[in-house]
Amino acid sequence: MNTFNYITIVSMAIMTVLILIQTRGASLGAGLGGGGEVNTVRRGTDKSIHNLTVIMAFLFSASLILGITV
């Protein structure tokens, strides 16, 4: 296994955990049109977790692409 495989596995695991700990405050009913609350602004730790998730998604994608080409 090369370095890109390890980066892919680690970034995937971290990204999965970050996605699971994000709170949206919306249940399934709200997703289907039954909720009146809309959270549009992220603040504090919610914003940090979101930004970290985006960075991990980019790292995951880049390691997959680079791992295929190398």
Which residue ranges in the chain fall short of pLDDT 70? 24-40
* pTM score of the predicted model: 0.70
**Which pLDDT does position 22 carry in this prediction?**
84
Domain boundaries, the chain: 1-20+42-70
Q: Report the alpha-carbon distance of residue 5 to residue 48 in Å, rounded.
A: 26
